[in-house]
C-alpha cells in the first residue's frame, strides 16, 4: 500500500466518528504484538495546553539525547505531522506499510464479527507500530479526547502523566461539570507513575489528587505562578522557575509560561525516575520548541497572527493575550469554527476586541460551521461582520482593511490554519 492508498483507507473510516472505549484498540494492538508495551511513556491530557506541553517535553528529551516518539492531534498542515520521531514526520513509505498491515488486521477483526477500529484507533496503533520500528526509547503522546476511554490510554508503561489546563469541552462525552471532565482526564493515571498537574481550580486538583492516591501514584502540582522575572514578548519570553534562572521560550502568549513550567516539572519527575535530563537540555529544548498555530506570527507589516482558540477556555487565554500585547491597536479578525464547538461562548469572550470580523468556513471539514451562519451569530453582538466566500477572500479583505500598525488575527479551528499558513507562505 502506498501513502495515497493509506490516506484513502483512513478517510473511508471517517463515518465511524467518535467511539470512546478501549476494547477495539486493545484487540488491534494485541494483533500487532502490543508495540506500545515496549516503550516508556509520557502521557499528556488537558483541555488546552496539552499540545504545547507535549512539544516542550518531547523537544527537551530529544535535546537530552533520547530517540523520542511524538504523537499528537489535530495537525496544522500535513497529516503525517501527527506521528514524529525526533521531530521528523513518519515517511510516506512507512505510512503506507503501517496502514497496509493495520488494514489487514482490521479486516480480520471484522470478519470475526468484531468492531471496525475507528480512524483515531487506527492512527494510534500506527504510532505505536512506528515508534517500535524506529526503536524509540520514550514516547510522548497526548490524549485525543478525555483520557479514561481515549485510545491512547491502552498504554501501560507510563513514567509521568502531565495534566494541563482543564476546561469545559466535549461535554457530550466527558460530562457536564468541570469535576466530571477532570475525572475523565485523570483516567490516564497509572499505578506507580508520577502525576504532574498544572495549578488550577481547587475542585479539579482535588479530583486528580484523589485518583492519584487511589492508583498509588505520586501527585505533584506545577505552579506557574511561582515563575519569577517574567518578560513577555511575541518572539521571545523569559522566566525563572525553581532553581532555573532566565529560561527562554520562542512561543508567544502569556499562557505558554504555564505550559513551559509544566514541561519543566514533567522533566523533573522523569529525572526522578531515571531519565537523565541535564539543565542544558531543558534550556535548549524550551528555546527550540516550535508549535505553529498558537499565537504564531505569520507576517509583519501589518502584523498577521494565527491562533487555534477553538473553545471557551482557549478563547479566554487568547483574550488575555490580546489585552496584554495589543492594547490600543486596531484589530481585524478572521474567524472560522466547527459547528460542534461552543462558538457562541468564543464570540462572547473575544468580540469586543475586534474592529472588524470576517468569518470563513473551514475548508474540507464536514464539521465546519458555514461562514454565513457564524456571521449571523457574531452579528448579535458585533455590527461590523462580513462572511467571506473563501479563505483567500478573507485574507484579501483583511489586508485591504488593515493599516501598517493594525493587527490581523485569524483564530478558531486548527483545521483551516494550515491552509492559511500556506496562503501566506509561512515556513515554521
Q: Does residue 369 contact residue 416 with C-beta atoms inside 8 Å?
A: no
For residues 103 and 106, give the distance between their C-alpha atoms in angstroms, rounded to a whole number. 5
Query: Strand 88-89's sheet: what is its strand order?
Result: 88-89, 83-85, 68-71, 138-142, 40-45, 158-163, 194-198, 218-222
Residue 44 has pLDDT above 90, yes or no: yes
Q: What is the pLDDT of residues 180-216, one digit of tens each?
A: 999 999 999 999 999 999 999 999 999 999 999 999 9
Q: What is the pLDDT of residue 169?
A: 63
Mean per-residue pLDDT over the chain, rounded: 93
* Domains within the chain, CATH numbers bracketed: 3-288 (3.40.1190.10), 296-424 (3.90.190.20)
Give the rounded percent of residues in the chain with a pLDDT score beyond 70: 98
Q: Give the pLDDT band of residue 172 (cuts 50, 70, 90).
A: low
Residue 365 has pLDDT above 70, yes or no: yes
Q: What is the pLDDT of residue 47?
A: 86
Q: What is the pLDDT of residue 171?
A: 55
Residue 275 has pLDDT above 90, yes or no: yes
Residue 89 has pLDDT above 60, yes or no: yes
For residues 384 and 353, give the distance between their C-alpha atoms in angstroms, rounded to a whole number. 12
Over residues 266-291, mean pLDDT: 97
Whether the full predicted model's pTM is greater than 0.75, yes or no, is yes
Q: What is the pLDDT of residue 15?
A: 78
Over residues 147-174, mean pLDDT: 86
Residue 122 has pLDDT above 70, yes or no: yes
DSSP code of residue 134: T
Q: What is the pLDDT of residue 300?
A: 92
Q: Does residue 293 contact residue 48 with C-beta atoms inside 8 Å?
A: no
Q: What is the pLDDT of residue 133?
A: 98
Phi-psi region of 43 (alpha: psi -120 to 50; beta: other; left: phi over 0): beta
Over residues 147-165, mean pLDDT: 94
Q: What is the pLDDT of residues 14-28, one digit of tens each?
A: 877 677 789 999 999
Q: What is the pLDDT of residue 227?
A: 97
Amino acid at each position: 500500500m502506498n501513502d495515497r492508498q493509506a490516506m484513502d483507507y483512513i478517510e473511508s473510516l471517517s463515518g465511524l466518528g467518535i467511539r470512546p472505549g478501549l476494547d477495539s484498540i486493545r484487540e488491534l494492538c494485541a494483533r500487532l504484538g502490543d508495540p506500545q508495551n515496549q516503550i516508556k511513556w509520557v502521557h499528556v491530557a488537558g483541555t488546552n495546553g496539552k499540545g504545547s506541553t507535549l512539544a516542550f517535553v518531547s523537544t527537551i528529551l530529544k535535546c537530552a539525547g533520547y530517540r523520542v516518539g511524538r504523537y499528537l492531534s489535530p495537525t496544522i498542515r500535513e497529516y503525517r505531522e501527527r506521528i514524529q520521531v525526533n521531530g521528523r514526520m513518519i515517511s510516506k513509505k512507512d505510512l503506507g506499510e503501517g496502514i497496509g498491515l493495520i488494514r489487514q488486521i482490521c479486516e480480520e477483526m471484522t470478519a470475526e464479527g468484531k468492531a471496525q477500529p475507528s480512524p483515531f484507533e487506527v492512527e494510534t496503533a500506527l504510532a505505536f507500530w512506528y515508534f517500535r520500528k524506529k526503536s524509540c526509547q520514550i514516547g510522548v503522546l497526548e490524549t485525543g479526547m478525555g483520557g479514561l476511554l481515549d485510545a491512547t490510554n491502552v498504554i501501560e508503561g507510563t513514567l509521568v502523566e502531565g495534566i494541563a489546563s482543564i476546561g469545559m469541552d466535549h461535554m457530550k462525552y466527558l460530562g457536564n461539570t468541570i469535576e466530571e471532565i477532570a475525572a475523565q482526564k485523570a483516567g490516564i493515571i497509572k499505578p506507580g507513575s508520577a502525576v504532574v498537574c498544572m495549578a488550577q481550580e481547587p475542585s479539579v486538583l482535588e479530583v486528580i489528587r484523589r485518583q492519584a492516591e487511589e492508583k498509588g501514584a505520586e501527585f505533584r502540582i506545577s505552579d506557574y505562578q511561582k515563575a519569577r522575572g517574567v518578560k513577555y514578548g511575541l518572539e521571545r519570553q523569559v522566566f525563572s522557575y525553581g532553581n532555573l534562572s532566565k529560561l527562554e521560550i520562542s512561543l508567544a502568549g502569556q499562557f505558554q509560561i504555564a505550559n513551559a513550567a509544566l514541561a519543566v516539572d514533567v522533566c523533573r519527575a522523569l529525572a526522578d525516575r531515571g531519565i537523565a535530563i541535564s539543565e542544558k537540555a531543558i534550556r535548549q529544548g524550551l528555546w527550540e520548541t516550535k508549535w505553529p498555530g498558537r499565537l504564531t506570527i505569520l507576517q509583519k507589516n501589518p502584523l498577521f497572527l494565527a491562533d487555534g482558540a477553538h473553545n471557551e477556555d482557549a478563547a479566554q487565554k487568547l483574550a488575555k493575550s490580546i489585552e496584554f500585547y495589543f492594547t490600543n491597536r486596531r484589530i481585524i479578525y478572521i474567524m472560522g469554527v466547527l459547528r460542534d464547538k461552543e462558538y457562541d461562548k468564543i464570540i462572547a469572550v473575544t468580540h469586543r476586541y475586534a474592529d472588524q470580523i470576517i468569518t470563513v468556513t473551514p475548508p474540507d471539514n464536514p464539521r465546519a460551521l458555514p461562514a454565513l451562519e457564524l456571521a449571523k451569530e457574531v452579528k448579535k453582538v458585533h455590527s461590523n461582520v462580513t462572511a467571506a466566500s473563501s479563505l483567500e477572500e478573507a485574507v484579501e479583505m483583511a489586508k485591504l482593511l488593515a493599516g501598517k500598525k493594525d493587527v490581523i488575527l485569524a483564530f478558531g479551528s486548527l483545521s483551516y490554519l494550515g491552509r492559511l499558513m500556506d496562503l501566506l507562505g509561512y515556513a515554521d
